[in-house]
């Protein structure tokens, strides 16, 4: 890199929630600035006053904080910088680079009741422009096709192209890293840069994020905002990791990267030109890898946060339950779904059921099943409270289970303890419930069968 201090920028328009495309752009700008001991500027490009909303600004700021992407300067708001743009506009008009154009109101103007008949247009020199893209190499445009384009509605109402060029110049931007849909904006912006005497930044246009069908990712493909993924229970570290792999190839087999590792390993030249396919199944895999790394104590806290009803359980039960739950999930949101589906109901109340649910596929009679449970109860009564865990229970009853048949014995045992068709295995259930409650439930089930 040159001796010039690297300054990148993240300039979202607050016209929608922070989507993953914006998040990846913010991430790559952040990584590149940190890697080069530079700075990242954060500003809101809110010249579209009708669509810009405070709630979107708040969401973008909160999403950056949640992801762990910090900025060095800002936030700035273009809506608060009108006087700066006005100064440049007046100078451009004075030097002949722009002019006031009297025009008939458009249909849109008429609909909105506008009677303005003047705009400010850039006087196009109709030249060939070539710029170097760090990802795509040299790109050339003939600006003649752009004609004399509008840069402001009035001296007090600048449009995007003027505002962004002035901001980048005033804020010292050295590198513009943005989506490839910004390529077509570049020739207009270079023309304006030349008109105001601004230094041309380096450009890097990132590939689009695509859906599985290779169309541009949008809401019709499912969740697209950072907020939605946060609410679904993805971890910020996992989302950061996955976003970095969308379009960037580390050149190795490594797939799990911390933010510090990304800053160390990232090379902008290794960003692909072609679109990056967003695969939520792969994101789930990455998220599960990060979930595995969470210490047990933190997992237990998360368990009760995402399944609040479990907070009523004693600490020992929670500590035993936590690894069972976390080995099954890929997102924290699945914990909430498990609670909603009643997967933890057996821990909060004694299950109730009919005798026929205790029978193994119709292969055992009520009398036979009652006998199996009686034998299990007899064996478990011999195990002390202190050593009553899943391993001890399994070792104690396994010979009997094998002699009779696993399904005939383990099905009624598990159903008696949980009251659910799908639940942890009966040995885990005995450890979670403890000796006293285990025997109470087994006796209850046996009594139902005997009465039948």
**Predicted pLDDT of residue 49:** 82
3-state secondary structure of 363: coil
Residue 40: its H or E element = strand 39-44
- Give the CATH architecture of domain 355-451: Orthogonal Bundle (1.10)
**Predicted pLDDT of residue 214:** 84
Token representation of residue 292: 């595995």
**Predicted pLDDT of residue 451:** 86
**Predicted pLDDT of residue 3:** 61
Tell me the domain boundaries of the chain. Answer: 219-292, 294-344, 355-451
Domain at 219-292, CATH class = mainly alpha
* Share above pLDDT 70 across residues of the chain, in percent, rounded to a whole number: 96
- To the nearest 10 degrees (0 to 180), the angle between helices 20-35 and 54-67 is 50
- What is the distance between the alpha carbons of residues 253 and 358, in angstroms, rounded to a whole number? 49
**Predicted pLDDT of residue 221:** 61
Which 3-state string (H, E, C) describes 385-440?
Answer: CCCCCHHHHHHHHHHHHHHHCHHHHHHHHHHHHHCCCCCCCHHHHHHHHHHHHHHH
pLDDT digits 0-9 by tens, 22-69: 999 999 999 999 999 999 999 999 988 888 899 999 999 999 999 999
**Predicted pLDDT of residue 364:** 86
Q: Which letter does DSSP use for residue 326 in this model? A: H
pLDDT digits 0-9 by tens, 325-379: 999 999 999 999 999 999 999 998 999 888 899 999 878 899 999 999 999 999 9
3-state secondary structure of 365: coil
Token representation of residue 95: 């030097």
Token representation of residue 238: 């996992």
DSSP 159-175: -HHHHHHHHHHHTT--E
**Predicted pLDDT of residue 193:** 98
Q: Which residues of the chain have pLDDT under 50?
A: 1-2
For 7, 251, 328, the CA distances from 265, given in Å and listed in that order, are 19, 10, 32
- What is the distance between the alpha carbons of residues 178 and 194, in angstroms, rounded to a whole number? 21
């Amino acid at each position: 890199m040159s001796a010039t201090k690297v300054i990148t920028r993240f300039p979202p328009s607050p016209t929608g929630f922070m989507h993953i495309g914006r998040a990846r752009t913010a991430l790559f700008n952040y990584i590149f600035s940190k890697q080069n001991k530079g700075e990242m500027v954060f500003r809101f490009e809110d010249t579209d006053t009708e669509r810009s909303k405070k709630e979107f600004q708040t969401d973008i700021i909160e999403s950056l904080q949640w992801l762990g992407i910090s900025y060095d300067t800002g936030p700035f708001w273009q809506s608060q910088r009108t006087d700066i743009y006005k100064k440049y506009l007046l100078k451009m008009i004075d030097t002949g680079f722009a002019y006031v154009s009297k025009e008939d109101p458009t249909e849109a103007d008429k609909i909105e009741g506008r009677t303005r008949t003047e705009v400010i247009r850039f006087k196009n020199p109709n030249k060939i422009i070539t710029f170097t893209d760090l990802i795509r190499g040299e790109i050339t445009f003939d600006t003649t096709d752009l004609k004399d384009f509008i840069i402001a509605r009035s001296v007090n109402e600048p449009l995007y192209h003027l505002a962004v060029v002035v901001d980048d110049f005033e804020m010292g931007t050295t590198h513009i890293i943005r989506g490839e849909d910004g390529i077509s904006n570049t020739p207009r912006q270079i023309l304006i840069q030349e008109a105001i005497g601004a230094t041309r930044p380096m450009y890097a246009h990132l590939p689009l994020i695509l859906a599985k069908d290779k169309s541009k990712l949008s809401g019709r493909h499912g969740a697209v905002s950072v907020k939605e993924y946060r609410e679904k229970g993805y971890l910020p570290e996992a989302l950061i990791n996955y976003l970095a792999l969308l379009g960037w190839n580390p050149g190795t087999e490594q797939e799990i990267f911390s933010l510090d590792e990304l800053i160390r390993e990232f090379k902008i030249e290794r960003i692909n030109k072609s679109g990056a396919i967003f695969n939520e199944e792969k994101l789930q895999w990455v998220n599960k890898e990060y979930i595995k790394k969470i210490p047990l104590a933190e997992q237990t806290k998360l368990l009760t946060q995402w399944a609040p009803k479990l907070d009523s359980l004693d600490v020992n039960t929670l500590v035993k339950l936590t690894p069972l739950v976390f080995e099954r999930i890929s997102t924290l949101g699945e914990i909430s779904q498990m609670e909603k589906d009643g997967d933890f109901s057996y821990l909060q109340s004694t299950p109730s059921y009919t005798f026929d649910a205790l029978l193994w596929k119709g292969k055992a009679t009520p009398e036979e099943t009652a006998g199996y449970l009686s034998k299990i109860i007899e064996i478990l009564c011999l195990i002390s409270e202190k050593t009553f865990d899943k391993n001890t229970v399994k070792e104690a009853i396994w010979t009997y289970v094998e002699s009779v048949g696993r399904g005939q014995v383990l099905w009624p045992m598990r159903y008696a303890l949980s009251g659910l068709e799908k639940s942890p295995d009966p040995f885990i259930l005995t450890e979670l419930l403890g000796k006293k409650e285990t025997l109470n439930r087994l006796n209850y089930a046996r009594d139902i069968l005997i009465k039948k």
